[in-house]
Amino acid sequence: MMLANAGIEQRLVEIRQRIKQAVERSKRDPSTIRLLAVSKTQPVSGIEAAYQAGQRAFAENRVQEWREKAPGLPKNCQWHLVGRLQTNKVKYLDQTIAMIHSLDRFSLLKTLNEQGERRGTIWTTLVQVNIARDPAKAGLMPEEVPDFLTSVGECPYVQVQGLMTIGAMGVSLKETQGFFRQLRGLRDTLQSRKWPGVDLRELSMGMSQDFELAIEEGATLVRVGRQIFGERG
């Protein structure tokens, strides 16, 4: 385990270098891109190794895993939820969740708003879009997003700061890049409109296998797990 954790620092150095190169290729401001270390199924020791290497933003898929891990880690870890969020798990969240990436349905919007009102918390979220129209993936269809954003205005305890997508399974990198480009195009189109509680500044897209393409297509948040931590436990 010590040997595996020692590798995390080197892998983080390599990932950051690849991010830097992608930023330079796309002539973007490096300060606009954040790396999320996806720590699902990884032991706390691995997260600690990434923290020691300077990583502060982590992402979990499941509320239960976040609840188990977060108390034993430094308080300045920034936690993101990137997996599908069940409405009955919202009650377990607190203000230490920096962002919920998977707001994908009206029932979840309503539940987040109710729980936010109950405890005086405003949730920062991203709307998940099934840009590839992949039946195996969650998310709103692109044409459903405008009406959904209109509903956000009726939910003052939810703020939407952008869009998220998960790449389709079994497609080429070129097709994946096209989907990233489509999401950015959707964001750019919607950004010209004004909705209460909505500011589409963020694009969460790209994972271990395609984060460089995502950066070149406008991602502001990239979610990398396996290439930092190694294979999942």
Tokens describing residue 160 = 């939407």
Identify the CA nearest to 93 among candidates 157, 37, 185, 47.
157
C-alpha distances out from residue 96 to 50, 62, 140, 198, Å: 19, 15, 26, 21
CB neighbour class for 65 (10 Å; exposed up to 12, middle 13-18, buried from 19): middle
Cβ–Cβ under 8 Å, residues 205 and 183: yes
C-alpha distances out from residue 51 to 39, 75, 155, Å: 11, 11, 35
**Which pLDDT score is estimated for 1?**
44
Cβ–Cβ under 8 Å, residues 171 and 132: yes
**Which pLDDT score is estimated for 230?**
86
Calculate the dihedral angle through the C-alpha atoms of 16, 60, 144, 89, rounding to the nearest 10 degrees. Answer: -160
DSSP string for residues in 62-109: -HHHHHHHGGGS-TT-EEEE-SPPPGGGGGG--TTEEEEEEE-SHHHH
All domains of the chain in start order, with CATH: 2-229 (3.20.20.10)
Q: Whole-structure pTM over 0.75, yes or no?
A: yes
**Mean pLDDT in each 10-residue stretch from start to end of the chain (233 residues)?**
70 96 94 96 94 97 96 96 97 95 98 97 98 93 98 97 90 93 97 93 95 97 95 63
Residues 6 or more apart whose Cβ sits within 8 Å of residue 220: 32, 33, 34, 162, 201, 202, 203, 204
Which single residue is written with the structure tokens 């539940």?
A: 111
Identify the CA nearest to 216 among candidates 14, 34, 25.
25
Q: Which phi and psi (to 5°) does residue 155 adopt?
A: -125, 80
**Which pLDDT score is estimated for 202?**
98
Tokens describing residue 134 = 């992949």
Number of Cβ within a 10 Å radius of residue 64: 11
Residues 6 or more apart whose Cβ sits within 8 Å of residue 216: 22, 25, 26, 177
